[in-house]
Amino acid sequence: MPELGRFARELRALLWKPTVEREVDDELAHHLERLEAELRARGVAPAEARAQARARFGDPARIGAECREIGRSRDRAYRRTRWLEELAQDARYALRQLRASPRFTLVAVLTLAIGLGASTTIFGIADAVLLRPLPFLEPDRLAIVWEETPSRQAFSVSEPNYLDWAARTRRFSRVAAFAGRTANLMSDAGPEQLVGAGATHGFFPVLGVAPILGRTFTPEETAPGGDQRVAVLSHDLWQQRFAGDPRILERTVQLDGVRYRVIGVMPRGFDFPGQVQVWTPLAPSMSWPRADRRMDAMIGRLAPGATEEQARRELSAIAAQLARDHPTSNTDWGARVRPLTEWYVSPEMRARVVTLLVAVGLLLAMACANVASLLLARATARERQMAVRAALGAGRGRIVRQLLTESVLLSLLGGAVGVALSAAAVPLVRRTGSAAIPLLSTMRLDWRVLGFALAACVVTGLVFGLAPAARLARAASPSRRARTGTGPALHALLRSGTRLADAGAMRNVLIVGSVALATLMLVSAGLVGGSFLRLMRVDLGFSSEQVLTGSIVLPEDRYQPAQVVAFFDQLTERLRGLPGVRAVGATNIAPYGGGNTAMGWAALGREPANRSEYPIASWRAVTTGYFPALGITLRQGRLYDASDASAPRGSERTLVISETLARRAWPNAPAVGQRLRLGNGQTARVIGVVSDARLLAVDSAPAPTIYFSQSRFAFPSMWLTIRATGDAAALTAAVRREVAALDPTLPVARVQPLAQLVSDATAQPRLTVLVFGLFATAALALAAVGLYGLIAFGVAQRTREIGVQLALGAQPRRVVRGVLARGVRLAVVGVVIGGAGAYVTAGALRAILFQTEPTDPLTFAAVGAVLLLVAGAASVGPARRAARLDPVLALRSE
Amino acid sequence: MADPTELLHGTLDTLVLKTLAWGPRHGYAIARWLEAMGADALRIEEGSLYPALYRLERRGWIAAEWGLSETRRRVKLYQLTDEGRARLAVETAQWSRFADAVGRILHAPIDAT
């Protein structure tokens, strides 16, 4: 046995190896003695011999010191190589061990793969959404600023207010404003609607990103009256539409029928405020009405030394001053300063991701507990082996190291499988999630994520390996006890294979813990899932099935209000004539099409004293066909008709309003015939009340809504809503054809079934459900594996005891019942503890639940039942094996 | 060369390697062998042998083991490793070339140029 020889040699080396100090002293003393003795033998007098020897030798103190120093560095180098050799040896040994018990290895590797794969995936999400810095210069010095309504909602920024902010701020070294706008690009491929953004000249410098070609806007180009026919292209647009033409700066592009000079191309990946293909100059003007003319937001870079808090205080002070200067428009309005990251990730989203991180941490802990309990079960069988190694001189530390090498190796194997699982899951998560979280589209398995996976593997391996290793090392320590004379433990161990009782107790704790964690995860998943089902069943108040939608933006310089009205009248007329079309309407904002509009209102005669105290309603510009197309029904009065369209401009408006608004305005009287005062001071008469619809969010109550007639409003940017008799998507080509027949330069953008928009709107809860569902499945699988492992090993250990029972005439059925009861008993304890934990902590989920109480008793009961069933199922196999034992063989098995 | 510190760098190491070429020896025996070969002309402090031994050991050119001396005392016995043997061959070749060149220069006739 080569191993024995090696250990014997090591042991001898350990006992006989003197310290460097003794080694050197011994050696030098020997030399001097011999030299002196030889001189004396030649007849030199003793004192003279000593002096001569000393003279020939040199100074022993100096030479000794030199030797000791070299000797020490020699030993260090030796220890290093020895350590590496041992590590390689440990790894080889560990591999042999794992190969020797393939079933254990498979279960452990799969368990770890689930834990580590899930952790890696979730870390990838967190990395993409929370950790990766935005691709701008010093992104943590960037802030985004909105206005804040009197009711403390974020709101777009008025142009004059922005100009005042920009002129007065000292805490920002540089600011800029932007506004999303669509632009219709005309090219050889036909008309196409682009996502564009207007930006002031400070926009690119604030973000600290330079163009790869040409330049960005000059201050003159973003001042009122400047030459604004210039455009900066995104890298993607340049590549896709202009084939990366290097001479693009000499070209023009036709946007909304007007020629723009291309002055620059931004680098690949530069994308702000989001999916932008072309930037054009934005020229905010002081001469616009302060309340009306609005841009999306301001961005600013903090001045050197300034903190975000200082900037917040400064802008609040400026806003307060503006309110004093312009009371009609600015009273009670404020400024909201936030880190730029909030443009991408809302605090709610951040909470969601953090919840996921906690959940995945729990899952990993569960995997660790399970593998640790498997290792503990195996440890019993290996006590003898460890005792032998200890007897051969392997120290306790050496044995712990050997075992930790084994567990880290196991965890690396699990991690490799886990990363493979994760690689498969990433595209799924990206697809499901990027509609909800734009940053998720950047998620990938890169070196950061893989580095995390590797670190997680090593830490995990150490965590789950430590308890069994420590226990085995203790089992192996009889060699030490034997040395100190406390008893012939090694001898006893070698002969009997004594079991240590505490292994069972520790394993029970681990299994109960694992079941408790599974309960916690399953309850969370159950709550999220139940909440999702309720969300899917919620009555939206409109029907998105068989409805096609698409966006049309009429360029303002070619379409005056009257032409806008005429265009949409003609278009709806033509579309209605198409075969397969049941109803055609249009609205300025499709349900979940993005964006919202708000307007103050009050019942005439009961207006609050101050206009800023008016309650807020959403408003929509719609054509009459909109209501039947979406299945919104008339409750009182009538819908718009020709009389509203032909009413002279300047006469009092007529209004269709939603039920909620009608109920709030006139709780005790019919609304039709009543009059509303609007936030702009005008009055309007209610002619109809329609059913409520959740147009903004699936999970919030329908907002009070005012529907203006498009024929009076003439909104140039509209969404078509076309209800088909069959498949809505089949109408796409016909719709494009009809639009082109009216104006061949007009693109129809985002043509899609309305159901798609609805489904995108629920992408976030669906992502949460998907991830929690994956967790729950993994947790359930882990709990089942853990229980099975415990019970099977428990039965194996009690083979002798069961044999005795059977030999004494016990019914096999009783044996089965005993084993089953043991498994279920442990599971019950785990479920109770986990349930209590879930009861206490589920409140944290409240923010992401919809119409679901975090303590929903049905969920708790269902989870408990499922886990007990799993525990029972996991016990059946081992129990039946126990009952089939041959008593004689069982008794002999020791 | 009166001052032993002026002994050419590494020369002592080479001599020690050579000493061990015939088999394991302890430090005192190495010193006696060098003395017998006439090394007192080099005026080496016998003690400086030991740092050389530790240096060679650290480099892996020689290995030490504890054994019994001819006087039945526990002593450190040194022997050449395979690397040490290879090193000795290299050093010997270098020394020959070096001594050759120095010798040719010193014995060259004055009017040779």
Can you give the length of chain B in residues? 113
* A389: its two tokens: 């190694």
Q: Is the pLDDT of residue B9 over 70?
A: no
CA A433 – CA A324 distance, rounded (Å): 45
Distance from CA of B110 to the nearest CA of A (A): 40
pLDDT (0 to 100) of residue A233: 94
| B51 contacts in chain A (CB < 8 Å) | 63, 66-67, 70
Does the bond joining A219 to the residue before it have cis omega, within 30 degrees of 0?
no
* A188, A276, A324, A726 from A582: Cα distances, Å: 34, 35, 54, 9
Burial class (CB in 10 A: 0-12, 13-18, 19+), A510: buried
Determine which of B28, B59, B72 to mutate to test the interface with A (most A C-beta atoms within 10 Å): B28
Distance from CA of B10 to the nearest CA of A (A): 16
Q: Which residue of chain A has the CA closest to B55? A: A70
Q: How many CB pairs below 8 Å do chains A and B form together?
A: 65
CA A57 – CA B46 distance, rounded (Å): 5
CA A410 – CA A417 distance, rounded (Å): 11
CA A295 – CA A269 distance, rounded (Å): 24
| B45 contacts in chain A (CB < 8 Å) | 56-58, 63
pLDDT (0 to 100) of residue B46: 86
Q: Which residue of chain B has the CA closest to A79? A: B58
How many CA atoms, within 13 angstroms, populate the side-chain half-sphere of residue A683? Answer: 10
Query: Which residue among B45, B57, B75 sits closest to A30, beta carbon to beta carbon?
Result: B75
Average pLDDT of A30-43? 90
* H-state helical runs in A434-501: 447-476, 478-484, 489-496
Question: Cβ distance A567 to A559 under 8 Å?
Answer: yes
A28 contacts B73? CB cut-off 8 A: no
Q: Is the pLDDT of residue A526 over 80?
A: yes
* A187: its two tokens: 């090219």
Determine which of A26, A39, A69, A70 to mutate to test the interface with B (most B C-beta atoms within 10 Å): A70
Q: Is the pLDDT of residue B97 over 80?
A: yes
Question: Cβ distance A400 to A473 under 8 Å?
Answer: yes
Average pLDDT of A823-833? 89
pLDDT (0 to 100) of residue A647: 80
* A844: its two tokens: 């944290």
Q: Which residues are CB-contacts of A111 (< 8 A; sequence separation ≥ 6)? A: A367, A370, A371, A374, A414, A782, A785, A786
Question: Cβ distance A338 to A184 under 8 Å?
Answer: no
pLDDT (0 to 100) of residue A794: 72
Q: Is the pLDDT of residue B60 over 80?
A: yes
Lowest-confidence region among A686-690, A846-850, B6-10, B92-96: B6-10
Greater confidence (A524 vs A316) lies with A316
Residue A46: Cβ within 10 Å count? 10
Average pLDDT of A674-696? 91
Q: Is the pLDDT of residue A894 over 50?
A: no
Question: Cβ distance A770 to A432 under 8 Å?
Answer: yes
Task: Report chain B residues touching chain A, CB-CB < 8 A.
Answer: 26-28, 31, 45-48, 50-51, 53-55, 57-58, 66, 69, 71, 73-76
Q: What percent of chain B has pLDDT over 70?
A: 89
pLDDT in tens, A757-770: 888 888 777 777 87
Q: Please tell me what DSSP assigns to residue A233.
A: E
Residue A13: Cβ within 10 Å count? 12
Q: How confident is the model at residue A76 (pLDDT cuts 50, 70, 90)?
A: confident
Beta strands in B1-113 (DSSP E): 62-68, 74-80
pLDDT (0 to 100) of residue A503: 57
> Which stretch of DSSP H or E encloses residue A278?
strand A278-281
B73 contacts A30? CB cut-off 8 A: yes
Greater confidence (B61 vs A648) lies with B61
Distance from CA of A395 to the nearest CA of B (A): 23
Q: Which residue of chain B has the CA closest to A20? A: B54
* A34, A55, A236, A588 from A241: Cα distances, Å: 95, 93, 8, 28
Determine which of B3, B13, B32, B50 to mutate to test the interface with A (most A C-beta atoms within 10 Å): B50
Question: Cβ distance A412 to A461 under 8 Å?
Answer: yes
Q: What percent of chain A has pLDDT over 90?
A: 30
* A118: its two tokens: 């899930």
Q: Write down the residue that tokens 């039946």 correspond to.
A: A880
Query: Which residue among A57, A60, A70 sits closest to B54, beta carbon to beta carbon?
Result: A70
Q: Please tell me what DSSP assigns to residue B47.
A: G
Q: Please tell me what DSSP assigns to residue A247.
A: T
Q: Please tell me what DSSP assigns to residue A716.
A: S
Q: Which residue of chain B has the CA closest to A67? A: B51
pLDDT in tens, A429-483: 787 777 667 777 777 888 888 888 888 888 888 888 887 777 777 766 554 444 4
pLDDT (0 to 100) of residue A670: 93
> Which stretch of DSSP H or E encloses residue A554?
none
Q: Which residues are CB-contacts of A89 (< 8 A; sequence separation ≥ 6)? A: none
* A419, A659, B66 from B74: Cα distances, Å: 58, 106, 7
pLDDT (0 to 100) of residue A486: 39
Q: Which residue of chain A has the CA closest to B47? A: A57
Average pLDDT of A622-641? 93
pLDDT (0 to 100) of residue A489: 46
pLDDT in tens, A727-762: 888 898 899 899 999 998 888 888 889 988 888 888
* A189, A220, A252, A276 from A261: Cα distances, Å: 19, 15, 4, 18
CA A313 – CA A460 distance, rounded (Å): 46
Q: Is the pLDDT of residue A501 over 50?
A: no
User: Which ipTM did the prediction report?
Assistant: 0.87
Distance from CA of B75 to the nearest CA of A (A): 7
Average pLDDT of A554-564? 87
pLDDT (0 to 100) of residue A499: 45
Q: Are strands A717-724 and A278-281 parallel, antiparallel or unpaired?
A: unpaired
Q: Which of B84, B82, B45, B78 is nearest to B61 (CA)?
A: B84
A26 contacts B76? CB cut-off 8 A: yes
Question: Cβ distance A754 to A590 under 8 Å?
Answer: yes
pLDDT (0 to 100) of residue B7: 58
Distance from CA of A456 to the nearest CA of B (A): 38
B45 contacts A30? CB cut-off 8 A: no
pLDDT (0 to 100) of residue B4: 46
CA A432 – CA A443 distance, rounded (Å): 12
Determine which of B26, B34, B46 to mutate to test the interface with A (most A C-beta atoms within 10 Å): B46
Q: Which residue of chain B has the CA closest to A59? A: B47
pLDDT (0 to 100) of residue A443: 79
Question: Rounded mean pLDDT of chain A?
Answer: 84
- Opening angle at CA A448, ends A444 and A454, nearest 5: 110
Q: Are strands A258-265 and A230-233 parallel, antiparallel or unpaired?
A: parallel
- The answer, as to whether pTM is greater than 0.80, is no
pLDDT in tens, A180-191: 887 888 877 778
Q: Is the pLDDT of residue A132 over 50?
A: yes
Average pLDDT of A698-713? 88
pLDDT in tens, A310-365: 999 999 999 999 999 988 888 888 999 999 988 888 777 787 788 888 888 888 88
Q: Is the pLDDT of residue A633 over 90?
A: yes
- Opening angle at CA A764, ends A763 and A768, nearest 5: 115
Q: Write down the residue that tokens 């709610």 correspond to.
A: A348
A73 contacts B26? CB cut-off 8 A: no
Query: Which residue among B54, B66, B74 sits closest to A67, beta carbon to beta carbon?
Result: B54
Q: Is the pLDDT of residue A515 over 60?
A: yes
pLDDT (0 to 100) of residue A435: 67
pLDDT (0 to 100) of residue A393: 66
Greater confidence (A813 vs A299) lies with A299
Q: How confident is the model at residue A8 (pLDDT cuts 50, 70, 90)?
A: low
Q: Which residue of chain A has the CA closest to B59? A: A74
Distance from CA of B103 to the nearest CA of A (A): 31
Q: What percent of chain A has pLDDT over 70?
A: 92
Greater confidence (A566 vs A807) lies with A566
A26 contacts B74? CB cut-off 8 A: yes
